[in-house]
Amino acid sequence: MAVEPWQTAEIPGPKKALVITKPEVVVAMMKRAQRPVLIVGHKAVEIELGNKKVVDYMIELAEKAKIPIVATAHMINEFLKRNYKPAGFMPAVDIGNRLTDPEWNGLDGKGPYDMALFVGLPYYMEWTILSGLKHFAQNLKTITLDNVYHPNASWSFPNISIKDWIENLKVIIEKIEGGA
């Protein structure tokens, strides 16, 4: 399968994300991570997945996997409206920047994260932040949960339909039960 970036001209490489062919891969990697963090951008409240939004799936995922969420932009408000208090909130560039600092001990001060999952940033913003991390945070694994291929992540889904996206997220949430 030819995997292309979602924005046609955003040609990456030589190093490109490995393609997630089935959602179980994400589950396995999350389980393997010691200190994962999930970064949720503002598009998570704009994109509808059936009768829910991306953000609703993320809350479910975070609760099941017991993984901290960092809300970027004004997403904190959307989480609070859903009675969920993320572990932290800060601008996308700030969390990106902190993740490149090997001495940053995370939101809880307990040590550096070893995995960052991203979802819902504008494509080009996520693209560039993941690029910053690819080059300057080499101990960090990055995974994107978007339905578009993000070549600068360590792992990414290819460009998939909304329907497949929903299915994938459901599988991940179901199989992560018991904590990452």
Partner 1 sequence: MSRKNVHLKVDEFKGNIGLIKNLEISIGKIIEEKWEEPMGPTPFPSLTTLRDWDFKLLQRFKPFYLPFCDVCCLCTFGKCDLTGNKRGACGLNMSAQQSRIVLLACCIGAATHIGHARHLVEHLIEEFGRRHPVDVGGVNVEVEAPVTRLVCGIKPETLGDLEAALDYCENQLTHLLSITHTGQEGSNLDFESKVFHAGMIDQVGMEIADLAQISAYGFPKANPEAPLVELGFGAIDIQKPVILCIGHNVPPAIGIVDYLTENGLQGEVEVCGLCCTAHDITRYNPKAKIVGPISWQLRFVRSGVPDVVIVDEQCIRTDILIEAQKVKAPFIATSEKNCQGLEDRTHDSPDKIVEDLVTGKVPGVLILDPEKAGEVAVRVAIEVMPRRGKFKVIPNVENVIEEAKRCRQCDKCRRACPNDLPIPEAMKAAVEGNLEKLNELYDACIGCARCEHACPENIPVHNFIVKAAEKKMKAETFKVRAGRGPIQDVEIRNVGGPIVLGEIPGVVAFVGCANYPKGGKEIAEMVMEFAKRRFIVVTSGCAAMSAGMYKNEEGKTPYEIYSGDFDAGGILNVGSCVSNPHIAGAAIKIASIFAKRKLRANYEEIADYVLNRVGAVGVAWGAMSQKAASIASGFWRLGVPVIVGPHGIKYRRMLLGRADKQEDWYVYDARTGEKVYVGPTPEHLFYAAETKEEAMVMIAKLCMRPNDTTKGRAIKLTHYIDLHKRLYGIMPEDIHLFVRTIADVPVTMKDEIIKILEKKDWKETVIPDPTLLPRLIRKKKE
Interacting residue ranges for partner 1, rule: CB under 8 A: 6-9, 12-15, 41-42, 72-74, 76-77, 80-81, 89, 91-94, 96-98, 100-101, 104, 121-125, 128-129, 131-132, 134-136, 138
DSSP, res 17: P
Give the distance from CA 46 to its chain's centroid.
16
Least Å distance between CB 109 and partner 1? Answer: 10
Quick one: 51 or 139, whose CB is closer to partner 1?
139
Nearest approach, Cβ of 180 to partner 1 (angstroms)? 25
For residue 21, the minimal CB distance to partner 1 (Å) is 21
At closest approach, how far in Å is the CB of 66 from partner 1?
Answer: 22
CB of 14 to partner 1, least distance (A): 5
Cα–Cα distance measured from residue 40 to residue 75, given in angstroms and rounded to the nearest whole number: 8
Phi, psi angles (nearest 5°) of residue 70: -110, 120
CA angle 174, 178, 180 (to 5 degrees): 90
| Ramachandran class of 18: left when φ > 0, alpha when ψ lies in -120 to 50, beta otherwise | beta
* Closer residue to partner 1, CB minimum distance, 76 or 176: 76
Q: How far apart are CA 98 and CA 58, in angstroms?
A: 22
Q: Which is nearer to partner 1, 136 or 175 (CB)?
A: 136
Nearer to partner 1, 57 or 89 (CB): 89
Nearer to partner 1, 60 or 146 (CB): 146
Q: Report the alpha-carbon distance of residue 93 to residue 99 in Å, rounded.
A: 10
